[in-house]
Structure 1
Amino acid sequence: MRARLALLAAAVSVLTLVAFLVPLALLVRAVAEDRATVRATADAQSLVPVVGTADPVTIRLTVEQLAAESGRPVSVFLPDGTVLGTPVPRTPAVALAARGQSLTAESAEGREVVIAVQGRPDGTGVIRTVVPGDELTAGVSRAWLVLALLGVLLVVIGLVVADRLARSLVRPISELSTVSHRLANAELDARVAPAGPAELREVAGALNHLAGRIQELLAQEREEVADLSHRLRTPLTALRLEAESLRDPQDAARITTAVDGLERAVTGLIRQARRQRTSTTAPAGCDAAAVVADRVAFWSVLAEDTGRVVHCDLAAGPLAVTVPADDLAAAVDALLGNVFAHTPDGTPFTVRLARQGEQVVLTVADEGPGMPADTVRRGASLAGSTGLGLDIARRAAEAGGGRLELRTGPGGGAEVLLRLASTADHGGGVPS
């Protein structure tokens, strides 16, 4: 933008100077030609008294003296045909002046000045002098050069002024762009100092107000999520007490373990809602092999109760990924929960975990009816659920530099791939 404004100013300056300097240059040349013509005419007219009254010898001496002083050829044509001074043939202008008419004409030698001298007893004499082209344009080249330098100087001054004005506009716009990108990268404390024209200052104030409003809304949302999560503690406590009152120790232990896992999830949700994340915070990371193995073991109990066969192919750990353990566990629970929620009892499923190049890939495949590709959209569900399961997995993967892929398996069922970026690619490791 700065360059375009400078180019616009240069174009306007050049056009203005051309419109002003070209007529001025032509005027300078015309003035120089007129000045030389007037000077030559005055010299020729100084001979009029001599040509009108003196004898040929006196006229010759006077003409030769004037030619030597002026440096121009001077000729006098007497009525009897005698030519005094510079010998030249009679020209059409001389013939016309012999009839009593003085004039100025252009010729191959330059500008021809002829003056008719009347009053001689033998007729009309004619004085002729020629202004050469060099004398007509004397000083014009120098004047044109001065005008050209003046034009260049004015263009340079215009460019400097335009650049300063453009910088006063571009700098606030660049700051606005920088702050907007920082806000997009979750740096909500970024603010822009209002500067520049009134319109840009107004935009800067609006952007700062928007950033503050976003901070307020996010803080309010975190508090609401934390409050909602905190309310779940009361029913969880009641559920724990009910589990401890069960007579069967195995059932009590199993339900208590599930309640503990749910309570850990609620606690993590509260902590996450209150935590201020910034773009400079390094990913916590975890061992994907340990997290996936733990969640598969948890769901295997339910799989056994529902008659499902679980095929596990888990690579030996550690498999360091950039996703925190809580987020990865929630993603695995969402994927396995979808299998139980959307396939009939007895449907087998497969869980594979392997390293592929610079990624760790978790694959959950079932032999159920499959699902549409647009199910990954947040809130999309064709089975009456909340539609957040796959979106939770997708966001967990993308937060760590990975992605979620949904496709149809070889047997026609759904196959979900959770591609996770390895911590080794980010210069980190598995937390101890």
Structure 2
Amino acid sequence: MRRWLALLVAATTSLVLVALLVPTGLLVRALAQSGAVNQATAEAQSVAASVGTADRAALALAAERTSASSGHAVTVFLPDGSLVGSPAPRSPAVELAARGRSLVAQTPSGLEVLVSVQGLPGGTAVVRAYLAEADLRRGVPEVWLGMLVLGLALIGLGILVADRLALALTRPMTGLARVSHRLAAGDLAARTTPGGPPEVRDVGLALDHLAGRISDLLAEERETAADISHRLRTPLTGLRLEAESLADPEEAARLGARVDALERAVSSVILDVRRRSHEQAACDAVAVVGDRVAFWSVLAEDQERPVTLELPPGPLTVAAGAAELSACVDALLGNVFAHTPDGAGFSVRLTPGPEGARLEVADTGPGFGAAALGRGRSGAGSTGLGLDIARRTAEASGGSMTVGDGPDGGAVVVLVLGRRSSPS
């Protein structure tokens, strides 16, 4: 905006200056020419005054002195056809002036100022003062140059003033954009600093009001979700008591482990919805993925499912919390067990990349159906939220998710998990 406003002011100022300075420049040239003609006329008249009173030698001396002092060639054409002063041809304009008419005549190289002197014994004499083109434009280039410098200075001053005005507009607008980006990134504590024109201040106050309203709504949502999560503890407690009352110790331990996992998930939900800050979480993806695959491998062994796990040798930190990444892996592997027949194998590959990490979960089942890719829709009787959980986890870390079918017809889900940014 600053650049466009500066260009607009420069164009407008240039047009105004052209409309003003061009006629002024032409007027300066006309005044210079008129002044030169008046000066030459006065010189010729001063010489003409001595034509009838001075002898030939004095007349020649007067013409030479006038030429030397003014820089104009002065010639006196006497009635007998001779001339005194600077040599010059007897032009048709001189012949016309010899008939008793003073005039100014244009020549190819300048102007002739002719003064007719009548009443002489031998006839009419003519005094000629010659003005070259340089004499007619003397001082004009300097004036034009000064006008050009003045015009450029005025354009520069206009651009400077326009830039200061534009800065007064763009600075608060840039602040508004920065605050809006922070709000979009999850920093709900971002607020604007009032400044700029009244309209911009009104927009800033409206943005602050919107941010406050969003914070209030999210706080209410967190409290509601936390309350619902707390209510889940009562049936969990009853389920734990039922599991402990089973006669088969192995079955009781197995069911108790499932209850513990569910309780951890509920606790994670409670902590997540009550979280007031949005600090970037991080975890070791190798450890989390390996732990969750080991958990699901027990069920895979019961259903005779081949499991392939590929992990990098060292730790791989990604911008996702351990609980979020665990829930993501559980959702993807849970889909494999829910939507593929017993005996269908799956593979989990975690590889490092320049953007962070790449997690690929593939199976040998029937692949994705058209209804399996939308949130809340599924053709297999599920809620359809598993893939959405994985997608949100990837996008929250700064990555992405892609789904498709593998070369053997099975489903393939690829998550790109962003790397945790270094603290500034």
How far apart, CA to CA, are the structure 1 residues paired with 2:422 and 2:101?
A: 103
Structure 1 residue 388 corresponds to structure 2 residue 372: no
The CA deviation string for residues 17-63 of structure 1, in whole angstroms up to 9 with x for no partner, is 23222222222222111111101111222344444566666655544
Change in CA separation of 1:243 and 1:86 when aligned onto 2, cut-off 3 Å: closer
How much does 1:296 deviate? 0.7
Structure 1 residue 332 corresponds to structure 2 residue 329: yes
* 8 A Cα contact 2:109 2:133, kept in partner: yes
Change in CA separation of 1:397 and 1:32 when aligned onto 2, cut-off 3 Å: closer
How much does 1:289 deviate? 4.8
How much does 1:118 deviate? 2.8
* 8 A Cα contact 1:360 1:419, kept in partner: yes
How far apart, CA to CA, are the structure 1 residues paired with 2:61 and 2:265?
A: 126
* 8 A Cα contact 2:74 2:85, kept in partner: yes
* 8 A Cα contact 2:397 2:417, kept in partner: yes
For 2:162, the equivalent position in structure 1 comes to: 162
For 1:107, the equivalent position in structure 2 comes to: 107
How much does 1:113 deviate? 0.6
* 8 A Cα contact 1:168 1:196, kept in partner: yes
Structure 1 residue 416 corresponds to structure 2 residue 410: no
How far apart, CA to CA, are the structure 1 residues paired with 2:257 and 2:89?
A: 131
How much does 1:337 deviate? 2.7
* Percent identical residues: 49
How much does 1:123 deviate? 3.3
How much does 1:297 deviate? 4.4
Change in CA separation of 1:413 and 1:82 when aligned onto 2, cut-off 3 Å: closer
How much does 1:221 deviate? 1.6
How much does 1:411 deviate? 4.3
Structure 1 residue 283 corresponds to structure 2 residue 282: yes
* 8 A Cα contact 2:292 2:330, kept in partner: no
Q: Any idea what SS the aligned residue of 1:119 has? A: strand
Amino acid aligned to 1:159 = I
How far apart, CA to CA, are the structure 1 residues paired with 2:325 and 2:54?
A: 125
For 2:123, the equivalent position in structure 1 comes to: 123
For 1:34, the equivalent position in structure 2 comes to: 34
The residue correspondences of 1:131-150 to structure 2 (distance < 5 A) are: 131-150=131-150
**Matched residue pairs, number?**
417
How much does 1:64 deviate? 4.5
Amino acid aligned to 1:361 = L
Structure 1 residue 361 corresponds to structure 2 residue 356: no
Q: Any idea what SS the aligned residue of 2:127 has? A: strand
The residue correspondences of 1:258-407 to structure 2 (distance < 5 A) are: 258-278=258-278, 280-285=279-284, 287-297=287-297, 299-300=299-300, 304=302, 308-315=303-310, 320-322=316-318, 323-344=320-341, 347-358=342-353, 359=357, 361-367=359-365, 369-372=366-369, 375-400=372-397, 403-407=400-404
The CA deviation string for residues 231-256 of structure 1, in whole angstroms up to 9 with x for no partner, is 21222223233333444444433333
How far apart, CA to CA, are the structure 2 residues paired with 1:227 and 1:336?
A: 29
Change in CA separation of 1:418 and 1:193 when aligned onto 2, cut-off 3 Å: closer
How much does 1:270 deviate? 0.6
The CA deviation string for residues 290-336 of structure 1, in whole angstroms up to 9 with x for no partner, is 42244314634xx74xxx32212335787655343322332233223
* 8 A Cα contact 2:21 2:147, kept in partner: yes
Root-mean-square deviation (CA, aligned residues, Å) is 3.1
For 2:233, the equivalent position in structure 1 comes to: 233
Q: Give structure 2 stretches of 5+ with no counterpart.
A: none
For 1:220, the equivalent position in structure 2 comes to: 220
How much does 1:418 deviate? 4.6
Amino acid aligned to 1:338 = N
Amino acid aligned to 1:151 = G
Which is further off, 266-275 or 73-82?
73-82
The CA deviation string for residues 388-408 of structure 1, in whole angstroms up to 9 with x for no partner, is 011112323444455444332
How far apart, CA to CA, are the structure 1 residues paired with 2:335 and 2:132?
A: 104
Change in CA separation of 1:411 and 1:47 when aligned onto 2, cut-off 3 Å: closer
Which is further off, 68-77 or 147-156?
68-77
Q: Any idea what SS the aligned residue of 2:306 has? A: strand
The CA deviation string for residues 347-391 of structure 1, in whole angstroms up to 9 with x for no partner, is 323233344344463524143x32236733322322332110111
How far apart, CA to CA, are the structure 2 residues paired with 1:419 and 1:348?
A: 28
Change in CA separation of 1:366 and 1:319 when aligned onto 2, cut-off 3 Å: farther
Change in CA separation of 1:247 and 1:60 when aligned onto 2, cut-off 3 Å: closer
How much does 1:169 deviate? 2.1
Scaled by the length of structure 1, the TM-score of the pair is 0.84
How far apart, CA to CA, are the structure 2 residues paired with 1:360 and 1:47?
A: 104
How far apart, CA to CA, are the structure 2 residues paired with 1:356 and 1:264?
A: 28
How far apart, CA to CA, are the structure 2 residues paired with 1:64 and 1:380?
A: 112
Amino acid aligned to 2:120 = R
Change in CA separation of 1:353 and 1:113 when aligned onto 2, cut-off 3 Å: same
Q: Any idea what SS the aligned residue of 1:34 has? A: helix
Amino acid aligned to 2:384 = G
* 8 A Cα contact 1:353 1:361, kept in partner: yes
How far apart, CA to CA, are the structure 2 residues paired with 1:399 and 1:65?
A: 97
How far apart, CA to CA, are the structure 2 residues paired with 1:57 and 1:417?
A: 114
How much does 1:343 deviate? 3.7
The residue correspondences of 1:163-182 to structure 2 (distance < 5 A) are: 163-182=163-182
Q: Any idea what SS the aligned residue of 1:46 has? A: helix
The residue correspondences of 1:178-197 to structure 2 (distance < 5 A) are: 178-197=178-197
* 8 A Cα contact 1:52 1:118, kept in partner: no
How much does 1:264 deviate? 1.6
Change in CA separation of 1:7 and 1:66 when aligned onto 2, cut-off 3 Å: same
Scaled by the length of structure 2, the TM-score of the pair is 0.86
Change in CA separation of 1:71 and 1:409 when aligned onto 2, cut-off 3 Å: closer
How much does 1:98 deviate? 1.9
How far apart, CA to CA, are the structure 2 residues paired with 1:122 and 1:377?
A: 120
